[in-house]
Structure 1
Amino acid sequence: MTPARPTTPPDPQPDPRRAPQPGPQGPPRPDLHAVFARAASDVTPGPLPLEAVRRAGRARRRRRTTVLSTLSVLAVATSVVAVVVTLTPVRPSPAAPGPAPVAVPPTVVPTSAPSVRTSDAPPTPDPTPIRTVASGERVNAGKGWQVWLTAEGKHWVGPDGYENTRSVTDGNVDVAEPGVSHQSEGGPKGAFHSGLYYGTRAAGRVELRNAQGRTAVATLLELPGRPGWGVWYVHTGPGMGEVGTALYDRSGKLLSELPLIPRSGPS
């Protein structure tokens, strides 16, 4: 059904003020505003396509929804693939066995020259401390033996109670020269050795040595004032046999020596 055409409005009356005025150059020009107004009033607008606009909008919404759903599915699938790849690493193929490595010894760079032994002799023992005792002071020498010193010389007594003396004033001992004496008493189970050392103020060690090289170092006693002589004593165990006696100074120099003598029987 075609809508009724609107009634054409009456032509507007020209405004005498806008009427073209004749001029010397030709006839007056028509009023363009009035012409355009009449032409616009002759146009009949058609009906609006509202239904087509609605259909086009619904189609655009469906396409947008489909695209978003597809993108969501792709994102989920990509995440699943990433998780599977992360949890199942690919193991490389084992390499072919090669030759066994050869151990190379480290290079040793000497930092100092090796020490040179100039002698096979054992090191010199340290000097033996000398104990200073008062005149007549009895010293427990162990295993029932006692030793003491007086101005006359050495005194000792054994487990049997029998006393012995070795004088330094009877002329049998020359205290002007380094020397050593040796007395011993005992049996197969062991012996007690004692004696005098004299002729030196630098006594360092008295040592017993048997034929097999076994040694025993004695204890040293002196009176106050370093009179130049003193007493030594030591115990030896079974199997020591005959021993020799040697006196050394504090630097290890041999001052006097006695040859090997039997353990039993005084010298």
Structure 2
Amino acid sequence: MTPASTPDPETGPAADATNVDAEAEVDRIREAFAREAHDVTPSPVPLAALMREGRKARRRRRTATFSALTVLGAATAAAAVVGVTSARPSLPAPAPIAAPPSAVVPRIPTPTSAKPTPTPVRVVASGQRVDAGKGWKVWLTEEGKHWTGPDGYENSRSVTDGNVDTAVPGVTHQSQSSPAGGFHSGLYYGTRAVGRVELKGPGGTRTAATLLELPGRPGWGVWYAHAGPGAGEAGLAMYDRAGKLLAELPG
């Protein structure tokens, strides 16, 4: 006995009914969406704003293009200038033009003022006899200057007899002349900054004297010098260490 066949739920009459119901439901949903879409009013398109943005975009593109062209043109011009400069030949330096002989101005020497060079002052003890050369000797005491010559005759010049004002710069001059020359000596006083004592002889000759002083810088001292013939009438000048003339004794 053959059993009765059971209908397939996926292909039988039940399946057909289900499919028909599903299609009907889809149609109802489609109609509902259509009705809703028909009732919606779309918002207007912002045409003015879109046009403004379009114009701005075009301006930006034109500006960028112009800037690029400007930079390119400047680079091209610079390259051309460099090329021209490099190709330009260098010119030799102009030769110096010698002045004609008539235009040469002779150089005139500038006169200079001769400043006497300071002479060191020798400090000696009271009564110490100093060999002044050629048989002459000189020494100092508290009373003043003493000297003797080759003949042994002794002389002196006082600074305490009232004939010399040691508060004012000054000089004295004693000389013994001979055809072979002469010995000159004297006092200088009135300064503790003596720099030089000079004999001024004939023809502008100048002879610096040796300077002697007692210890303690008493403000006076003795000078002596040897000079040639005819210096008996020599003038005398005393300067300080800076070269300033302190006292002068005419010849």
Whether TM-score is above 0.5 comes out as yes
Q: Kindly indicate whether the alpha-carbon contact (under 8 Å) linking 2:169 and 2:188 is maintained by their aligned counterparts in 1.
A: yes
- Residue in 1 that maps onto 2:48: none
Matched residue of 2:164: which SS?
A: coil
- Residue in 1 that maps onto 2:172: 181
Q: Kindly indicate whether the alpha-carbon contact (under 8 Å) linking 2:235 and 2:250 is maintained by their aligned counterparts in 1.
A: yes
Q: Which of the numbers 210, 214, 218 marks the counterpart of 1:223?
A: 214
| Structure 1 position 258, deviation (Å) | 0.7
Q: Kindly indicate whether the alpha-carbon contact (under 8 Å) linking 2:175 and 2:232 is maintained by their aligned counterparts in 1.
A: no
Find the structure with the greater CA-based Rg: 1
Q: Kindly indicate whether the alpha-carbon contact (under 8 Å) linking 1:138 and 1:147 is maintained by their aligned counterparts in 2.
A: yes
Structure 2 Cα separation of the partners of residues 148 and 190 of structure 1: 22
Structure 2 Cα separation of the partners of residues 105 and 216 of structure 1: 51
- Residue in 1 that maps onto 2:162: 171
- Residue in 1 that maps onto 2:51: none
Question: Which letter maps to 1:126?
Answer: T
Question: Which letter maps to 1:150?
Answer: T
| Structure 1 position 121, deviation (Å) | 4.0
- Pairing 1:125–2:116 present: yes
Q: TM-score normalized by structure 2?
A: 0.56
After superposition, the C-alpha distances for 1:32-78 in whole angstroms (9 at most, x for unaligned) are xxxxxxxxxxxxxxxxxxxxxxxxxxxxxxxxxxxxxxxxxxxxxxx
- Residue in 2 that maps onto 1:195: 186
Structure 1 Cα separation of the partners of residues 175 and 112 of structure 2: 29
Q: Kindly indicate whether the alpha-carbon contact (under 8 Å) linking 2:200 and 2:235 is maintained by their aligned counterparts in 1.
A: yes
| Structure 1 position 120, deviation (Å) | 2.1
Q: Which of the numbers 129, 134, 156 marks the counterpart of 1:138?
A: 129
- Pairing 1:246–2:203 present: no
Structure 1 Cα separation of the partners of residues 224 and 194 of structure 2: 14
After superposition, the C-alpha distances for 1:90-117 in whole angstroms (9 at most, x for unaligned) are xxxxxxxxxxxxxx8899xxxxxxxx99
Go from structure 1 to structure 2 and tell me whether the alpha carbon gap of 1:126 and 1:144 turns closer, same or farther (over 3 Å shift).
Answer: same
Question: Any residues of structure 2 matched to 1:9-28 within 5 Å, and which?
Answer: none
Q: Which of the numbers 126, 150, 156 marks the counterpart of 1:159?
A: 150
Matched residue of 2:204: which SS?
A: coil
After superposition, the C-alpha distances for 1:119-159 in whole angstroms (9 at most, x for unaligned) are 62442132000000000000000000000000000000000
After superposition, the C-alpha distances for 1:196-225 in whole angstroms (9 at most, x for unaligned) are 000000000000102420111000000000
Q: Which of the numbers 209, 219, 224 marks the counterpart of 1:233?
A: 224
Number of residues of Structure 1 aligned to a counterpart in Structure 2: 150
Structure 1 Cα separation of the partners of residues 216 and 225 of structure 2: 24
Structure 2 Cα separation of the partners of residues 121 and 198 of structure 1: 29
Q: TM-score normalized by structure 1?
A: 0.53
Go from structure 1 to structure 2 and tell me whether the alpha carbon gap of 1:195 and 1:106 turns closer, same or farther (over 3 Å shift).
Answer: farther
Structure 1 Cα separation of the partners of residues 231 and 184 of structure 2: 12
Q: Kindly indicate whether the alpha-carbon contact (under 8 Å) linking 2:202 and 2:230 is maintained by their aligned counterparts in 1.
A: no
Go from structure 1 to structure 2 and tell me whether the alpha carbon gap of 1:169 and 1:210 turns closer, same or farther (over 3 Å shift).
Answer: same
Structure 1 Cα separation of the partners of residues 180 and 229 of structure 2: 5
Q: Which of the numbers 203, 206, 209 marks the counterpart of 2:197?
A: 206
- Tell me the C-alpha RMSD between the 2 structures: 2.4
| Structure 1 position 186, deviation (Å) | 1.9
Question: Any residues of structure 2 matched to 1:93-112 within 5 Å, and which?
Answer: none
| Structure 1 position 183, deviation (Å) | 0.1
